[in-house]
Structure 1
C-alpha cells in the first residue's frame, strides 16, 4: 500500500511541475523539460523572479513589461533563446543582460524603444540574432553593437531611423543579414557599411533615400542581394555602386529614376537580376548596360519608354528574361534586340505598338514566349517569325484590334503551342491556320465579336472557309 502511495505522490508532483505549479517555476509561467520556461501572454509587468538558472529558452513575449532592470537575467548562463517581443519596453538599463552571455537569439521586436546604445547590450557576447524591428527607434549610438562579434542577423526594420554613420555597425563583421527597410533614412554616407565584409543580404527598401555617397557600399565584398526599392533616387551612376563587385540581385524598383550614367553597372559585373520597374525612364541608351554581361533578368515595367533604338540592350549577351510592359513604346527600330541571343521571355504588353515587322525581332533566336497584348495591333507582316522565332511556343496578343488572321503571319512557327487572341474583333478563323501551326494546342478566342467562331478546314475539295457562327 505504501508503495502505491509513493507512486501516486510522484505522479502528482510531475503533473504539478508540468502545469507550472512547481516552486521552482515563476507564478504565471509554465516550465517544462528540456529547460523551457513559457511566461508569454501572462499579463506580466516585469521580468518575474525565480526563473530557473538552467533555463535554455525563455518566452516573455506578449506581456506588459515596460523596463528591463539591471541584472534581469543574472547568472542565467545556459540561456540561449530569449523572447521579449510584443511588450511595452521603453527602457533597458545598462547591465540588464549581465550574466546572460550564452544568449544566441534575442527578440525585442514590437516594443517602444526609441534609441539603442552600446551599454544597453553589455553581456550579450554570444548573440547571433538580434531583432529590434517595429519599435520607435530614431537613433543608434555609434558602436552600439561593437561587442556582438558573433552576430549574423540584425533586424532594425520598421522604425524611424534617419541617420547612420561609419561607426554605427562597427565590430559586427560577421553579420550576414541586415534589415533596414521601412525607416526614414534619407541618405547613405561614405563607409556606412565598411566593416560588414561578410554581409550577403541588405534591405534598404521603403525609406526616403535620395542620395548615395561614393563608397557608401565600400567593404561589402560578400553582398549578393541589395534592395533599394521604394526610395527617392532620381539617377544612378557608377560611384553609387562602388564596392558591390559580387552583387547578384539588385532591386531599385519604385524610385523616380530618369537617368542612368554609362558607367553605372561596371561596378557590378556579377549581377544576374536587375529590377528597375516603376521609375521615370523615358529612353534606353546602348551604353547603359556596360559591365552586365552576366545579367539574365531585366525588369523595366511601368516606365515611360516610347521607343527602342538599335542596340538598346547591347552587351546583355546572357539575358533570358526581359519585361517592357506597361510603358508607352510605339516604335522598335531594326536591331533593337541585337545581341539577345539567349532571350527566351519577352513581355511587351500594354504599350502603344501599331505594327510589328520582322526586322524589329531580329536577334531573338531562342525566344520561347512573346506577349504583345494590349497594344494597337490590327495586322502582322507575312513571314514575321521565320527569321527569329522558330522555337517559340507561346504567343499572346489579347486586347488588340485584329479583325482577321492570315495564316502567312505564322509561317515557321512549327513549335507554337498556344495563341491567345482574347478580346479582339475577330469574326472568322481560316482553317489553314492549323496547317501552318502543326503543334497548336490552345487557341483562345473568347471576347471577340461573335459568340461563336466557326472554323472550317481546307479538305482539298474547295477553298478553306470560315463563317460566322
Structure 2
C-alpha cells in the first residue's frame, strides 16, 4: 500500500514539475518577447497599446513598436515632442499626453501629422491656448484641468473634423465670436467647471449657428444666470447643472424640439414659469434634484412633456402641487418628490387615469400632516398600481398622535381628523 502511495506521489510530483516547467517556460517566452518589442520602462499590451505614463521619462522613447495604436506618455517630465519622435508610428490612433510638461511651443510643427492620429489628450498641461500644431484629421480632443481662459475666434480653424470636444475644468470666462464656427462635425461639447457667465458667450451672433451636428452640450458648474437663447435645434442633451439660473421663463425651450434630456440639479432654480417646457415633446428625462424650487407646480408647469419618463424634483422647497399639474406627464414612470415641503396632497394629483405609466413614487422626508385628508395616499401604499418607495422613511410631522411615526408602522385608519 505504501509502495502504491509513493508511486502515486512520485507520478503527481512529476506531472506537477512538468506543468511548472511549461508555465515557467511560457512566462519566460512572454517576457522575452515583450522585452524585445516594448521600450523600457514602458509597458505594452496588445492590441497595440503602449503605456509610458508615470514612468519618469523626459522624452519619447525612440523604439516604440511601429504597430502601436494607443500611446500614453502623460504624467511625465516631457517638455517637448519633436517632429521625428513619432514619425514611425503610422498606425497611431490616439495620443494621451495628459499631465506632461507641455506648453506653447512644446510640440514642433509637423510632429503630430500622422496618417491615423485622430484622438489627442492634452489635459493637465500648461497650454493657455488651443495649439495650432495638432492633427488636422483629429476628431477627438481633450484639454481638461488646464489653464485655458479664452476660446479664441481662430482656436479651431484648423480642426473642422472634431466630433468630441472636452474643455472642462479650465478657467474659461470668454468665448470669442465665431470660435465654434469651424466645428461643423462636432456632436459633443463638454465645457463644464469653468467660469462662464451670461456675458461669456457671444449673442448675437449665434455662438453655435454653424454646429449643425451638435447633440450634446454640457455647461455644468459655471456661473450662468440664464439659459442661452441660441442653442441649436438639433440638440438632444443639455446640461445646466450647478449654475446660477433662478428662473426658467415661459417658452424658454420652445425651439429645442429634439431635446431628450435636460438637467439643472444642484443649481439655483427657484421658479418655473408656466409653459416653460412648451415644445419639448421628445424629452424623456428632466432633473431638478437639489435646487431651490419654491413656486407652485401649476396645471401649466409641465405642459409639453408628454414623453418624460423620469422627473427629479427631490431636495427642493415645493409645498404645493395643483391637482392637474402632473397630467401632461403621460409617460412618466418615476417621480421623485422626497425632501420637499409637502404637507398634504389631493388625490387628483396622482390620478392614475392620467398618469397611466406611473410605477415608482418617492415622497419621503416631507413634513406630512397625516390626517384624514392624506389617508388616501397611505391607502395607495397598500394597493396602488405604483410603488411608494421607502415607507420607513416617510414620517409624519403631525397631528400629535402620529407625529414622528413612519408609514410602515401606521395603518390608514390612523390617519384621522379631529372630528372623527
Interval of TM-score (by shorter of Structure 1 and Structure 2): 0.7 to 0.9
Measure, in 2, the Cα distance between the counterparts of 1:452 and 1:435: 15
Which residue number corresponds to residue 121 of structure 2? Answer: 179
Distance in 2 (alpha carbons) for counterparts of 1:455 and 1:104:
65
- Alpha-carbon contact 2:338-2:363 (below 8 Å) kept: yes
TM-score of the pair, normalised by structure 2:
0.78
Q: Give the Å deviation of 1:244.
A: 2.1
Give the structure 1 partner of residue 367 of structure 2: 425
Deviation string 1:74-128 (CA, Å, 9 cap, x unpaired) is: xxxxx65445228xxxxxxxxxxxxxxxx96544322333456xxx738976544
Task: State the match for 2:155 in structure 1.
Answer: 216
How far residue 362 of structure 1 moved from its aligned partner, in angstroms, is 1.8
Q: Which moved more, 1:402-411 or 1:121-130?
A: 121-130
Alignment pair present for 1:277 and 2:241 = no
1: CA distance between counterparts of 2:254 and 2:90? 45
Q: Partner of 1:37: helix, strand, or coil? A: helix
Deviations 1:267-295 (A, max 9, x none): 3222222211111111113x230xx3332
Confirm or deny: 8 A CA contact 1:174 1:196 kept in the other structure: no
C-alpha deviation, 1:438, in angstroms? 5.2
Q: CA RMSD in A?
A: 3.3
Deviates more, 1:317-326 or 1:165-174: 165-174
Please point out which of 439, 443, 454 is paired with 2:385.
439
Q: Which has the higher contact order (CA 8 A, sep 6+)?
A: 2
Say which of 281, 293, 305 aligns to 1:341.
281
Is residue 342–residue 366 contact of structure 2 (8 Å, CA) maintained in 1?
yes
Following TM superposition, by how much is the alpha carbon of 1:376 offset from its aligned partner in structure 2, in angstroms? 1.4
| Shift in Å, 1:130 | 2.8
- Normalising by structure 1, report the TM-score: 0.71
Q: Could you tell me which of 449, 452, 456 is aligned with 2:406?
A: 452
Counterparts of 1:211 and 1:401, CA distance in 2? 42
Displacement of 1:170: 4.1
Which structure has the greater CA radius of gyration? 1
The 1:343–1:137 alpha-carbon spacing in structure 2 relative to 1, beyond 3 Å, is same
Which of 195, 198, 221 is 1:256 aligned to? 195
**Cα distance between partner residues in 1 of 2:307 and 2:263:** 16
In structure 2, the CA distance between the partners of 1:400 and 1:17, relative to structure 1 (3 Å rule), is closer
- Report the number of matched residues: 376
User: Could you list the per-position Cα deviations for residues 236-284 of structure 1 after superposition, in whole angstroms to 9, with x for gaps in the alignment?
Assistant: 3552223322222221111111132342222322222221111111111
Q: Distance in 2 between matches of 1:16 and 1:324?
A: 60
Over 3 Å counting, the alpha-carbon distance change for 1:125 and 1:466 in structure 2 is closer
Instruction: Give the aligned partner of residue 378 of structure 1.
Output: 319
Written as runs of structure 1 = structure 2, the 5 A alignment for 1:5-404 is 15=21, 18=24, 31-32=28-29, 36-38=30-32, 55=33, 57-58=34-35, 80-82=37-39, 84-85=41-42, 106-115=50-59, 121=62, 127-141=68-82, 144-164=85-105, 167=109, 169-189=111-131, 191-193=132-134, 195-197=135-137, 199-237=138-176, 239-259=178-198, 260-262=201-203, 263-285=206-228, 287-289=229-231, 292-354=232-294, 355-386=296-327, 388-404=328-344
Q: Which runs of 5+ in 1 are unaligned?
A: 1-7, 21-29, 39-54, 59-78, 87-102, 458-464
Relative to its length, the structure with more helix (as a share) is 2
Q: Distance in 2 between matches of 1:169 and 1:308?
A: 48
Say whether the 8 Å CA contact 1:143–1:167 is kept in structure 2.
no
